[in-house]
Amino acid sequence: MTEPPIPPLALTMGEPAGIGAEIARAAWQALRATGPAFLLVDDIRRHPGAAQVSGPEEAAAAFPHALPVLHQPLAEPAVPGRINPANAAATIASIDTAVALAKAGRVGGVVTNPIQKSALYAAGFKHPGHTEYLHELAGVAAQPVMLLASEQLRVVPVTIHEPLKLAIARLTPELIVEIASLTAAGLRQDFGIAAPRLAVAGLNPHAGEGGSLGREDIEIVAPAIAQLRAMGIDARGPMPPDTMFTAGARPGYDVAICLYHDQALIPIKTLDMNGGVNVTLGLSIVRTSPDHGTALDIAGTGTADPASLIAAIRLAAHIATHRGARSGEN
């Protein structure tokens, strides 16, 4: 039996002074004939020739002919490369609208364009980033998990947007187990991996070399791995961080559990900067994002590469379809 098509996705505006508008138009050009269909929550005045729609229900029909835009007015005209805190409220409202549509089942998922957090902070935004804000909007109890995915590698940082000194101080076996177990559940739910294989990175060089380079891998990481195995999760490690991302090592696991932000993001961005996708696991809605920033330095030049956004749209549709198929089985 063929599964019914998912509703269009909702794409947020992101930072108005960044590359979001131009890569959204480029993504529409690339996908208009094949889909997945999406609507953009943005100021219609920024998109000549776009189709203003009143909701997702109109977007699918409009998509082959024009970029569907759900109008979210900016307070002031956006100038490429020049952030303006006056437009922060519209940026946040775009996220709020997209999430509300997803929670209501009117869109298949949310794809977020990059935000400029400094502009939002100046307007009173209290969250470290998209992931934490979406967690609040989704209203779920579990801690959100940020997974970065490409065709060559998936990574999850246990700690995300915090100074390295604080991130290391916050590491405990319990935190690693929580993030790793949520990751395993997310891979089963959203990627269809029945028995995920988790490679857990060590904290210290060479994973501590038996304690001679620090005891954190013995006292924090190894107990977490033992507990994950006791829970029936295929967890391996602690693995030396300088060798676990090689071409020979990557086929041996489905996701790398990394202990801090850069340990996860440096390898995946090095391998596939243009094709990486940020996925938030553990939400009640589907959420993906391109794995890059606002690129203020090239905004408005027409040179921004839409590949990561296109990959994020396709992956969001894939996850939404997979979730729909699973719910139909229950």
What pLDDT is recorded for position 121? 85
What pLDDT is recorded for position 226? 98
Q: Where does the pLDDT of residue 330 fall: very low under 50, low under 70, confident under 90, or very high at 90 and above?
A: very low
Pairing mode, strands 277-281 and 145-149: antiparallel
What pLDDT is recorded for position 297? 93
What pLDDT is recorded for position 6? 86
Stronger pLDDT, 91 or 275, i.e. the higher one: 91
Q: Which fold has domain 145-280?
A: Isopropylmalate Dehydrogenase (3.40.718)
* 42: β partners: 71
pLDDT higher than 90, residue 133: no
**Other CB atoms within 10 Å distance of the CB of residue 134:** 23
User: How far, in Å, CA of 90 to CA of 24, rounded?
Assistant: 17
* Token pair in block for residue 22: 């131009």
- Please state, in angstroms and as integers, the Cα–Cα distance from residue 7 to each residue in 34, 190, 202, 229, following that order: 14, 17, 42, 38
What pLDDT is recorded for position 205? 93
- To the nearest whole number, what is the mean pLDDT of the chain? 92
Over residues 39-58, the pLDDT tens digits come to 999 999 999 999 999 999 99
- Please state, in angstroms and as integers, the Cα–Cα distance from residue 327 to each residue in 8, 121, 324, following that order: 18, 38, 5
Query: What does pTM read for this prediction?
Result: 0.89
Query: Tokens 């559940």 sit at which residue?
Result: 185
What pLDDT is recorded for position 273? 83
Which of 128, 115, 127 minimizes the C-alpha distance to 88? 115
Fold matches, 1-140+283-330 and 145-280: yes
Stronger pLDDT, 170 or 291, i.e. the higher one: 170
* 57: β partners: none
Q: What average pLDDT does the segment 76-88 reach?
A: 94
* 70: β partners: 41
Q: Where does the pLDDT of residue 326 fall: very low under 50, low under 70, confident under 90, or very high at 90 and above?
A: low
What pLDDT is recorded for position 137? 85
Which architecture, in CATH terms, is 1-140+283-330?
Answer: 3-Layer(aba) Sandwich (3.40)
pLDDT higher than 60, residue 197: yes
Q: What average pLDDT does the segment 132-144 reach?
A: 76
Phi-psi region of 329 (alpha: psi -120 to 50; beta: other; left: phi over 0): alpha
Q: Where does the pLDDT of residue 1 fall: very low under 50, low under 70, confident under 90, or very high at 90 and above?
A: very low
Domain residue spans in the chain? Answer: 1-140+283-330, 145-280
User: How far, in Å, CA of 60 to CA of 287, rounded?
Assistant: 19
pLDDT higher than 80, residue 128: no
Q: Where does the pLDDT of residue 327 fall: very low under 50, low under 70, confident under 90, or very high at 90 and above?
A: low
